């Protein structure tokens, strides 16, 4: 069975992360990280949680249990770029979009970010807008009145 210090080293290597970067990501002092790496101390439960979260491993694994080292789903495995395969695919698709496409994606992303971070807008200010892709595929998006107005040309513009 592996020890905490061995698993910590292994996780740092898997994530291509330095102890200083781990310290910054977790808020745990570099001195404490150094002591954990030497095996002089084991982290508190709170610090274990911070370390496991930053390194994207489970606490039991970090403590030496089991063999599963990384989240199993491939879209959650992060390489040395810091992005999962799924995130890389999204970035690739986004970069292939034209100006209109990036505006639409940015609007949807901003709306979802707002929704998910509890910066709720009034329900009366939100609309369900139809979106038609070049392929003919139709989808509905939730968009604020202000965002919708910025996409639709006024009577004087572009007519």
List alpha helices for 15-144, DSSP H: 19-26, 30-38, 45-55, 59-62, 85-96, 99-116
- Greater confidence (111 vs 16) lies with 16
- Assign 144 to helix, strand or coil: strand
> Contact, 128 vs 144, CB < 8 A?
no
What pLDDT, in 10s, does the model give residues 44-74?
889 998 998 898 888 888 887 765 444 444 4
Q: What is the CATH number of domain 4-74?
A: 1.10.260.40
Q: Helices H, strands E: what count in the chain?
A: 8, 2
What pLDDT, in 10s, does the model give residues 20-47?
999 999 999 999 999 999 988 888 889 9
Q: What are the φ and ψ backbone dihedral angles of 138, each rounded to 5 degrees? A: -110, 135
CATH 1.10.260.40 residue window(s) in the chain: 4-74
């Amino acid at each position: 069975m592996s020890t905490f210090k061995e698993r910590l080293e292994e996780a740092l290597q898997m994530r291509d992360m330095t102890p200083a970067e781990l310290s910054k990501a977790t808020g745990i002092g570099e001195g404490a990280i150094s002591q954990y790496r030497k095996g002089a101390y084991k982290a508190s439960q709170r610090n274990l949680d911070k370390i496991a979260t930053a390194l994207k491993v489970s606490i039991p694994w970090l403590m030496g249990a089991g063999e599963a080292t990384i989240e199993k789903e491939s879209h959650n495995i992060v390489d040395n770029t810091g992005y999962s395969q799924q995130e890389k695919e999204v970035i690739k698709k986004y970069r292939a979009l034209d100006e209109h496409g990036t505006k639409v994606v940015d609007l949807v992303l901003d709306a979802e970010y707002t929704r998910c971070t509890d910066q709720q807008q009034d329900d009366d200010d939100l609309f369900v807008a139809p979106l038609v892709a070049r392929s003919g595929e139709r989808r509905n998006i939730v968009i604020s009145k202000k965002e919708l107005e910025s996409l639709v040309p006024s009577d004087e513009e572009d007519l």
